[in-house]
Amino acid sequence: MVDASLLNADSNVTYDVIVIGAGVIGPAVATGLARKGKKVLIVERNWSMPDRIVGELLQPGGVRALRSLGMAQAINGIDAYPVTGYTVFYDGEQVDIPYPYKSDVAPVEKLKDLVKDGNDKVLDDSTLSTRDYEEDERERGVAFVHGKFLNNLRRIVGEERTVTRLQGNCVQILKNELNEVVGAKVDVEGRGKVDFKAHLTVVCDGIFSRFRKELDSQHIPSAGSSFVGMSLMNAKNPVPMHGHVILGRSHMPILVYQISPQETRILCAYNSPKLPSNVKAWLIKDVQPFLPKSLRPSFDDALLDGKFRSMPNSYLPAKQNDITGLCVVGDALNMRHPLTGGGMTVGLNDVVLLVKKIGDLDFSDRETVLEELLGYHYERKSYDSVLNVLSIALYSLFAADSDNLKKLQRGCFKYFQRGGDCVSVPVAFLSGLLPKPLLLTRVFSAVALYAVYLNIEERGFLGLPMALLEGITILFTAAKVFTPFLYREICG
C-alpha cells in the first residue's frame, strides 16, 4: 500500500527544481538545494528499500562529501562497518595499504546553510564510533547494506520542509518550443500522467538512466565486463576493516569487503558483460582456489546456497550540461569501473560542487544557471577524472589478459611493496583525496617504468636485448591503457 502523502504533489506549482531519482545522488541534491531555500519536488518510482549489490563501499572522499552536505549521519544506525584501508593479495604475497593521514589532506569544507547542529559528525552507534571518525589520525571510509543507507538518505530528504516527495514513473522530460526543459511528466498511481513544471530539472536516475540521452543521443555507456556477487555470512576476513583485492596471474580480480557485522560482500570479476553459462562451475574453477584460506568456509557455504547476483561494469565519460533547464548528475552523467568503489564518491562530490555553484542563484534566471552549469562541467574534471581513469587503468592491470599487462600487474604490486609514497600517493587517489590528474599520470608512468625494471632484472645480463624490446612493448601497453581515457576525461 503506497503512502498517500507520496501521491499528492501539487501540479499547479512551479517548483524551483524537480529531481528525478531518489538513489544516492537524488536525495543529496534535493537536500542540499532545499537547505538553500529552494522548493524541490523529488520523484522516485518506488520509495521502498531496494535490494542491490552496488553502492556498498563509500571511500573517505565520499564520507567527507557527506560531511560537507550535512548528511554524515546517513551512515549511522544501519550496522555500517568502518573501512580503514585495503589489503592487496598477489600470488600468495600481500601488502597492507592504509588510508591517508588527515594531516595530509585539506580540512572538510562545510557548506553554508547545509552544515548545522552537528550534522557533519558521525554519531556513536552499535558499529561506528564518533571518536574513531573524528579523532583517528587517518581518514576512514565505510561499508554498508546499500538499501539501508539509501533509506537513511531518503529519510533525511523527507525531513526538509521545502521538499515534496512523489512516487511515480517519470515518462517524459517536458520541453518548450525553444527546446528548453521545463519539467517532467510523471505517471502517478490514481492520477495518471501528470505534468510538473520547474525552473530546473535534475536527472539522476542511475546506471540504467532513461533520460541521459536528453543531453545527447550518443550519450550511451559501454559495458566490457561484469561482477558476480555473493554474500558471505560470518566470514573470517584476513584483515579486519580492510577491503581485500585478490590478484593473480591466472585469475580475474576478486574483491572482498565487510558490509555489516555478519555479512561480507564478495565480487568476482568476469571479463565479459555476458556471464558464463554455468556460474557456479566458473566460481569453483576460477575463484575458489585463489581465495585466502580464512574465507573458504563462508565462500563454500555461499556456493551451496547458490544465490548469485551480477552487475555490468560500465564506462561513460561525462558530457557538458548545455541545455537550458536541465542538469544530469551521478551515474546518469558519468560512470567508471566499480573496481575502485569510486562511484558514490564521485557523485557526492559532484553534488557538493553543484550546490556551491548554483545553490544561491535564483533558478528562474535560467540563463545564469546554465552559465554556472557550463563552468561546473570543467571544474569537476580535476576530481572526477582521477577516480574515473584510475578505475579503468587498475582494472586493465588487475584483469591482465596479455603478457605485457601481466608484467604491469606484477610491477604494480611490487611498487606497492616499496612502501612510503609508493603506497600513500596511490591510496590517496583511490580514496578520493588527491584530485591531481597530472600527478596520477606521473605515478602511473612510474609504475610502468618499475615493471620494465623488474623485467630487465628478471632477464639478467644475457637477456638484456630481449628485455629492452619487451620494455618498449610494456610502456606502449601502459600508454594504451591509460592515455586514451585520460584524454577523454580531461579534453572531452
pLDDT in tens, 364-414: 999 999 999 999 999 999 999 999 999 999 999 999 989 999 999 999 999
Distance CA 37, CA 34 (A): 5
Same domain, yes or no: 345 and 470: no
Which parts of 300-369 are beta strand (E)? 309-315, 326-328
Same domain, yes or no: 398 and 254: no
At 200, is the secondary structure helix, strand, or coil? strand
Same domain, yes or no: 184 and 42: yes
Same domain, yes or no: 235 and 253: yes
Residue 97 lies in a domain: no
Residue 325, pLDDT above cutoff 80: yes
Counting the structural domains of the chain, the total is 3
Q: Which residues pair with 254 in a beta bridge?
A: 246, 268
Same domain, yes or no: 45 and 169: yes
As a whole number, the mean pLDDT across the chain is: 96
What's the grid cell of residue 441?
599520470
Same domain, yes or no: 401 and 481: yes
Distance CA 331, CA 477 (A): 29
Q: What does the pLDDT average to over 95-99?
A: 98
pLDDT at residue 274, as a whole number: 92
Burial of 126 (0-12, 13-18, 19+ CB in 10 A): exposed
Residue 109, pLDDT above cutoff 90: yes
Distance CA 127, CA 108 (A): 23
Distance CA 313, CA 388 (A): 13
Residue 105, pLDDT above cutoff 80: yes
- Which segment of 194-198, 215-219, 240-244 scores lowest on mean pLDDT? 215-219
Q: Which residue has the cell 584483515?
A: 239
Q: What does the pLDDT average to over 74-103?
A: 97
Same domain, yes or no: 266 and 395: no
Q: Which residue has the cell 503506497?
A: 2
* HSE-up (13 A, CA, CB side) for residue 43: 31
Cβ(234)–Cβ(276) under 8 Å? no
Burial of 90 (0-12, 13-18, 19+ CB in 10 A): buried
pTM above 0.85, yes or no: yes
At 348, is the secondary structure helix, strand, or coil? helix
pLDDT at residue 4, as a whole number: 86
Per the structure, the complete domain to which residue 455 belongs is given by: 384-491
Residue 91 lies in a domain: no
Same domain, yes or no: 310 and 348: no
pLDDT at residue 111, as a whole number: 98
C-alpha of 484 from chain center: 21
- pLDDT band at residue 463, thresholds of 50, 70 and 90? confident
Residue 175: which CATH number?
3.50.50.60
Amino acid 401 reads D
- Exposed e or buried b per residue across 456-469, where buried means at least 16 C-beta atoms within 10 angstroms of its C-beta: beebeeeeeeebee
Q: Which residues pair with 192 in a beta bridge?
A: 188
Residue 90 lies in a domain: no
- pLDDT band at residue 322, thresholds of 50, 70 and 90? very high
Dump pLDDT digits (tens) for 113-160.
999 999 999 999 999 999 999 999 999 999 999 999 999 999 999 999
Burial of 192 (0-12, 13-18, 19+ CB in 10 A): exposed
Residue 94 lies in a domain: no
Instruction: Give the residue among 330, 365, 344, 39 at the shortest CA–CA distance from 209.
Output: 330
Going from the C-alpha of 126 to that of each of 60, 82, 266, the distances in angstroms are: 20, 11, 23
At 318, is the secondary structure helix, strand, or coil? coil
Same domain, yes or no: 341 and 415: no
Residue 461, pLDDT above cutoff 80: no
Task: Annotate 386-441 with DSSP letters as a single string.
Answer: HHHHHHHHHHHHHT--SHHHHHHHHHHHHHHHT-THHHHHHHHHHTT----HHHHH
Distance CA 101, CA 349 (A): 20
Helix, strand and coil percent figures for the chain, each rounded to 5: 40, 20, 35
- pLDDT band at residue 462, thresholds of 50, 70 and 90? confident
Which own/partner contact pairs does 451-457 have at CB distance under 8 Å and 24+ positions apart? 451/407, 451/408, 451/410, 451/411, 451/412, 451/478, 452/411, 454/407, 454/410, 454/411, 454/414, 455/407
Burial of 190 (0-12, 13-18, 19+ CB in 10 A): exposed
What's the grid cell of residue 483?
592515455
Final residue belonging to a domain, choices 285, 315, 345: 315
- pLDDT band at residue 467, thresholds of 50, 70 and 90? confident
Final residue belonging to a domain, choices 381, 413, 434: 381
pLDDT at residue 53, as a whole number: 87
